[in-house]
Chain A
Amino acid sequence: MKHLALTTALLMSATGAMAGKAFVSNERGNTITVVDTESWEVLTEFDGGNRPRGITLSPDGSLLYVCASDDDTVRVFDTETYEELYTLPSGPDPELFVIHPSGSPLYIANEDDNLVTVTDTESHSILAEVPVGVEPEGMAISPDSQWVVNTSETTNMAHFISTEDYQIKHNILVDQRPRYAQYTSDGSRLFVSSEIGGTVSVIDVAEDGTPTLRQKIEFEVPGVLPEWLQPVGVKITEDASRIFVALGPANRVAVIDGASLEVVDYIMVGQRVWQMDFTHDQKYLVTTNGNSNDITVIDVEKEEAIKSVQVGQQPWGVAITPY
């Protein structure tokens, strides 16, 4: 073996082969399914606590954070050994969260208590509790880390919380039951899905973070009742040219053109599609399909579903390693 190859091999074994992994939280099965993002084979399934929903990774991909909603805690797992390392205080009924790009803190939506809990992932302590609207769910952080956005499902607002003093500085009314929020990578726009309203609100964000509602995107699929077009998860490509929206019981992912903000296609996936995540190179988009107990792999460039993989019971969220 040549010297270079040997070094590479050593490096690989030291960092754990570095094949990408998708972690899927199974809300009803109380497990996390691990899927290899090259072979799309299921590697393992491990205990995720009671009612695991929101799921995310530390920036380096070494730690997996899971909102174990019925345990009122965030469980932290090693992404190589799948061992539970410790839990973090989350406030009651954590559902979704977003992590600061530095790896701390976590901003956690507490669905039953109208709060966003800010938890330091290093000291394992709660830094702040921010009162928000009724049934907080969606969480997003601006790329410059100045703003955390929370959506409240019964108040129907996107709340813009300053990460400096944890005060709400702006509120934007959106349509019924806002589920998810996502900034573009340059921070100039925020997309908020409204499940029952059936729309995605497009919010322009000024330099200083001030939001202005620009327009609402509607959906229409021939042969599907408008009532079943229920936008939930939203993911945006790095260049913001495409916005993907999971449409719940319509069993489709809408593809929106980032420039025209028009829906250009609908991709058939599994049943009751909720959350999504990109692979690190954005070649693939993975969707969780709660009623068919599988995930769908979408080829992002071709905008086609290429594979479905059976996971646990009622897959809810998905997080993919940054490698």
Chain B
Amino acid sequence: MPIPMKPLMAAAALLMSSAMAQALDVRAGVLRVDYDALLPISRYDVRPDDLAFAGAALADEDNATTGSFLGHTYETVTRAAPPEEAAAAMEALLADGIRFIAVDAKASELTDLADKAAEAGALVLNTRAPDVGLRSDQCRANLLHIAPSDAMKAEAVAQFAVWKQWKRWLLITGSNPEDRALADAYRRAATKFGATIVEEREFEDTGGSRRTDSGHVMVQRQLPTFMQGTESHDVVIAADATDYFAAYLPYHLWTPRPVMGSAGLRPVTIHAAHEAWGATQFQNRFEALTRRHVQEEDYNTWLALRVLGEAVTRANTTDPAELEAFILSDAFELAAFKGQKVTFRPWNGQLRQPVLLHDGRITVSVSPQEGFLHQTSPLDTLGLDEPESDCTAFQ
């Protein structure tokens, strides 16, 4: 039974709600799907146990500090599950009352997980899957994409190549479905920005030549012959989403050319040497908390939860539908150590963000490149623009 409020108290309460933020408890989840995988080519790419979760821990700290001035608290529950147990893990998070879930999974699991969340009115933030279809005909109204799409990453590389006047590309593709999808993104990027793919070759995944047991000896003999007798080209573009050959390309070509894409100059959301635009502070905070360098999935998860935190701070609500509407509106903006604000595309729920081009040590360049213009935002020169996306879920 409601307690009758005295007039003075009622007035005070009204005043507070209009002038001040109300106390809110924000609970979020991070669901990471762990797939069986071979060892990466490079030991630098071994996935730490706390991958993605470490980004969540930092985001919780950042959000909680801000929240402490507003009476907002943050708690994030993290779950790791193999693909066959991912649905149960999502159900457990939803049963726990959580309505914001950052999901680190491939598209094959992500769509089902997002649909399960939709039944509970929950919002899902995709921190991993790069599939272009998820931003087009496979989009979901409760699914926002923090991770850049293959299209955004391929076009970030393409703009730099074109800016360099390296317009004749030799495209080397892996034989797995993800590799072929990435190759499609590079073909579209070439067409979009006026580069020419002079020749394509597929490097078949036969399951050999990994780093151990002198795999490099075989690579040194095999790769140059594979790369013999190509059409004249300025640059080699590697489409190896499954990480089995591209890393070997740079010094094992027949014709000496720069390599870009899955090796050489790679498009990334973050790397541990990124310092510009205040990122040093992010790196310092992350390393102090986790005792290791940041990886992309950490940053993507941090960013997903910062999007949530910023929306709660500004919109003063924990209602998923209200928050999503705010996130997709013009009023939403967030600083993410990229030199300009990151915002969302209202037509497909994709986060707009600059893409770093990384050579393994430094930031070589950042796309979009100078001179690539767009009527809305230069960031919309990367990835699916409104007319290019078949997504209708947000209309």
Contact = CB atoms under 8 A, between A and B. Distances in A.
A271 to B, nearest CB: 14
Nearest to A177: B335
Interface stretch (A150-158, A277-285, A302-310): A150-158
Given A155-B69, A157-B66, A196 B313 contact: no
**Per DSSP, are chain A's interface residues mostly helix, strand or loop, or mixed?**
loop
B286 to A, nearest CB: 11
Interface in A130-174: 133-135, 152-157, 159, 168, 171, 173
A134 B335 contact: no
Interface residues of A, number: 26
B62 A196 contact: no
B281 A133 contact: no
Contact of A197 (B66, B281, B288, B333): B333
A177 B378 CA distance: 20
A114 interface: yes
A153 B335 contact: yes
A168 B335 contact: no
Contact of B66 (A156, A176, A177): A156
Contacts of A153: 278, 281, 335
A133 B64 CA distance: 9
A171 B285 contact: no
A72 interface: no
A154 B306 CA distance: 10
Interface in B316-357: 333-335, 339-341
Interface string B261-296: 000000000000000001001001100100000000
B281 A196 contact: no
Contact of A196 (B70, B341, B377): B341
B65 A176 contact: no
A171 B69 contact: yes
B192 interface: no
Contacts of A152: 66
B335 A176 contact: yes
Contact of B281 (A112, A159, A168): A112
A198 B69 CA distance: 24
A173 B333 contact: no
B278 A159 contact: no
A134 B65 CA distance: 7
A175 interface: yes
Interface in B235-256: none
B333 A111 contact: no
A173 B313 contact: yes
A180 to B, nearest CB: 14
4 smallest beta-carbon distances between A and B, as pairs = A155-B66, A196-B335, A176-B335, A227-B340
Interface of A: 93, 111-112, 114, 133-135, 152-157, 159, 168, 171, 173, 175-177, 195-198, 225, 227
13 contacts: A93-B284, A111-B281, A112-B288, A133-B66, A133-B69, A134-B66, A135-B278, A155-B69, A157-B69, A176-B333, A197-B335, A197-B341, A227-B377
